[in-house]
């Protein structure tokens, strides 16, 4: 009877962990993220099972020994979905979602169902309903990397820095280099999306620019 009760309880926890992983994973899959439906389900299930096993086979004084190592393993998994490209870091939200799903799986595995359900609802609110707010904030203050290559003349790049100010953009000067008769300037530029669009339109029509990346 005792064994049957344990089995039933474990099955319920595993099924709940599967459901929670599927709910969060469906949102990530819909947005075509690197860690989608199957990944989130497996993270939730794995965390749940490790937590159950930690309680079952751990000594009374160290019942959390196995569960504590879940955090270390999830850290390596999350690092694998973070990418850096052209001064822009992507995948941080997906990595933190993996970390959060692991926490939900641990909560379910330890029998804290109420905390797991509230946590799941909070994750969905953050991922779905706060996304439009993030878009609005980015429109008000967006960061872009500008790279301009033009013929070298005295104070050539200062001309473009004055243009950034003209369009109400804040530009942080990065690496600058000269090769032969050309000079390359890099800036990290912050400001409203509309200001970026006007600046980009101006630079695309500038006959003095040889190369322009943004």
Q: Alpha-carbon distance 78 to 93, whole Å?
A: 10
**CA–CA distance from 100 to each of 105, 106, 123 (Å)?**
9, 10, 8
Q: What is the rounded average pLDDT of the residues 58-75?
A: 69
pLDDT at 191: 93
Q: What is the rounded average pLDDT of the residues 25-33?
A: 89
Same domain as 118, residue 64:
yes
DSSP 214: -
Most confidently modeled of 73-87, 125-139, 198-212?
198-212
Q: What is the span of the domain harbouring residue 179? A: 140-213
pLDDT at 156: 78
- Residue 130 clears pLDDT 70, i.e. is over it: yes
Q: What is the rounded average pLDDT of the residues 193-203?
A: 93
Q: Give pLDDT tens digits for 132-169.
A: 887 888 788 888 999 999 998 877 788 899 999 999 99
Q: Which of 99, 129, 159 is the last residue of a domain?
A: 129
Pairing of strands 83-85, 170-179: unpaired
Same domain as 115, residue 40:
yes
Q: Is residue 158 part of a domain?
A: yes
Same domain as 68, residue 152:
no
Q: Is residue 205 part of a domain?
A: yes
- Residue 205 clears pLDDT 70, i.e. is over it: yes
Same domain as 86, residue 17:
yes
Model confidence at 184, in pLDDT bands (50, 70, 90)? very high
Q: Is residue 72 part of a domain?
A: yes
Q: Is residue 135 part of a domain?
A: no
Same domain as 189, residue 103:
no
- Among 23, 9, 11, 27, which residue's Cα sits nearest to residue 116? 23
Same domain as 177, residue 121:
no
- Average pLDDT taken over every residue of the chain: 86
Q: Alpha-carbon distance 187 to 193, whole Å?
A: 16
Same domain as 124, residue 201:
no
Same domain as 155, residue 101:
no
- Residue 60 clears pLDDT 70, i.e. is over it: no
Number of domains in the chain: 2
Q: Alpha-carbon distance 143 to 67, whole Å?
A: 40
- Residue 203 belongs to domain with CATH number: 3.30.70.260
Strand partners, 179: 182
Q: Give pLDDT tens digits for 77-113.
A: 777 777 766 556 677 888 899 999 999 999 999 899 9
**CA–CA distance from 49 to each of 11, 42, 106, 212 (Å)?**
10, 10, 8, 52
Rounded percentage of the chain residues whose pLDDT exceeds 70: 89
């Amino acid at each position: 009877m005792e064994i049957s009760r344990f089995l039933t309880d474990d099955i319920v926890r595993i099924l709940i962990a599967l459901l929670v992983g599927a709910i969060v994973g469906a949102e990530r899959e819909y947005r075509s993220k690197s860690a989608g439906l199957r990944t989130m389900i497996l993270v939730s299930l794995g965390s749940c099972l490790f937590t159950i096993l930690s309680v079952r086979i751990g000594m009374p004084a160290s019942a959390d020994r196995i569960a504590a190592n879940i955090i270390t393993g999830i850290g390596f998994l999350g690092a694998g979905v973070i990418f850096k490209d052209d001064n822009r870091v992507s995948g941080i939200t997906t990595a933190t979602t993996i970390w959060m799903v692991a926490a939900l799986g641990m909560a379910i595995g330890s029998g804290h169902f109420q905390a797991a359900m509230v946590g799941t609802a909070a994750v969905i609110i953050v991922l779905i309903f706060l996304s439009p707010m993030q878009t609005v904030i980015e429109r008000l203050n967006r960061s872009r990397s500008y790279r301009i290559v033009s013929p070298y003349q005295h104070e050539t790049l200062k001309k473009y820095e004055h243009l950034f100010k003209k369009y109400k953009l804040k530009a942080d000067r990065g690496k600058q280099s000269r090769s032969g008769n050309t000079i390359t300037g890099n800036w990290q530029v912050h400001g409203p999306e509309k200001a970026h669009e006007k600046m980009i339109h101006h630079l695309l029509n500038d006959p003095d620019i040889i190369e322009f990346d943004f």
